[in-house]
Structure 1
């Protein structure tokens, strides 16, 4: 890989191959369907790390939910505009949530794992301050115990952070949430590679 490629965000390099190679998304779709059932009419949801808009932003928009999507990859946001039209998509750091207004829910599917572990608890606290109404948080991560561990995903170098399930539950609880559900799922994340994924539902406490 060239020096120029190493300086490009991983998901700018991955682009549409992410959707083409992501094999199993049944659980993510089921989590989105659960969220839709909890939301009031006119709900507003922040899709943090929205990527290409598939499947979650499109799923929410199709249900009549107002969606703000944030991602650090301009290439992925361009795909989101095409594949999940109608959302408001912002190219910015995932940690910059303070100026985005209030939301009934925040979803972060495989987004927080792109951050250093030291940045995740304060971000969860800032998200809590932005929640109203049902105050729901849905996140997914991979099972593990590492901090920006270097990997190659779909041919692009990146770093990934992970927690064991009990630690993730404690991190979310300590940030001011009640954990409603936590699932561990084996899924094919890219062709030929199985990983254990963690899906967590939580509600912000007053």
Structure 2
């Protein structure tokens, strides 16, 4: 029998993520900005797409082709239900070698699920799969720790975080020009406020 410690945290969280995630205004605003930058017929990879809400659905509603990946089978099934029309794959977000090229990639609160040592390599890999506007949107939680154990909505997991200027440095060193970086306070779950970082970047040629 599989123990909870070996089950992806978001398999355990499931639908409660959408029910408990209180503030998503900034994430939606970032998605709206991205849609304005994309050419007709654009293709976007949503790394750590979760339940498909809000980003995959927002992009699909705008006529964008969306491929979403997530390590949680439960979240992938939710995405298929809640954001129909996308292609959703149950796999590690670092594994997208066979998915082709994309005009943009988004990773909203996804990279924080990785050890810090894996993040620069993943960002560099993303850059090699970008075409056209070559845009990257990502969000992280403000902090300074590496794969630290936390409890989120009652599930145990490990997360990494950077201070804003360190995150800018990591993204720049991976081959991107940072277009915008913002810190916002948001209620991540009922009664808990956290500082979040939203970053826009363009891959260098």
The aligned counterpart of 1:196 is 195
Q: Structure 1: which 5+ residue stretches go unaligned?
A: none
Supply the distance in 2 between the matched residues of 1:91 and 1:36 (Cα, whole angstroms): 25
Supply the distance in 2 between the matched residues of 1:67 and 1:152 (Cα, whole angstroms): 30
Q: Is the 8 A contact 1:184 1:196 kept in 2?
A: yes
The aligned counterpart of 1:74 is 73
**How big is each residue's C-alpha offset from its partner over 1:176-203, in whole Å with a ceiling of 9 and x where there is no partner?**
0000000000000000000000000000
The aligned counterpart of 1:150 is 149
With structure 2 as the length reference, what TM-score do the two structures score?
0.99
With structure 1 as the length reference, what TM-score do the two structures score?
0.98
SS of aligned partner of 1:80: helix
Supply the distance in 2 between the matched residues of 1:14 and 1:29 (Cα, whole angstroms): 22
The aligned counterpart of 2:116 is 117
The aligned counterpart of 1:174 is 173
Q: Does 1:160 align with 2:159?
A: yes
Q: Which runs of 4+ in 1 moved over 4 A?
A: none
Supply the distance in 1 between the matched residues of 2:200 and 2:68 (Cα, whole angstroms): 19
Q: Is the 8 A contact 1:142 1:198 kept in 2?
A: yes
Q: Does 1:24 align with 2:23?
A: yes
Cα distance, 1:4 vs structure 2? 1.7
Q: Is the 8 A contact 1:97 1:126 kept in 2?
A: no
Mean alpha-carbon deviation: is it higher for 49-58 or for 94-103? 94-103
- RMSD over aligned CA atoms reads 1.0
Q: Is the 8 A contact 1:21 1:190 kept in 2?
A: yes
**How big is each residue's C-alpha offset from its partner over 1:7-51, in whole Å with a ceiling of 9 and x where there is no partner?**
211000000000000000000000000000000000000000000
**How big is each residue's C-alpha offset from its partner over 1:87-137, in whole Å with a ceiling of 9 and x where there is no partner?**
000011111122110000000000000000000000000000000000000
The aligned counterpart of 1:10 is 9
Q: Is the 8 A contact 1:48 1:71 kept in 2?
A: yes
Supply the distance in 2 between the matched residues of 1:100 and 1:124 (Cα, whole angstroms): 16
Supply the distance in 1 between the matched residues of 2:88 and 2:2 (Cα, whole angstroms): 29
Supply the distance in 2 between the matched residues of 1:9 and 1:120 (Cα, whole angstroms): 19
The aligned counterpart of 1:42 is 41
Supply the distance in 1 between the matched residues of 2:150 and 2:144 (Cα, whole angstroms): 14
Supply the distance in 2 between the matched residues of 1:109 and 1:147 (Cα, whole angstroms): 18
| Matched residue count | 205
Cα distance, 1:3 vs structure 2? 7.2
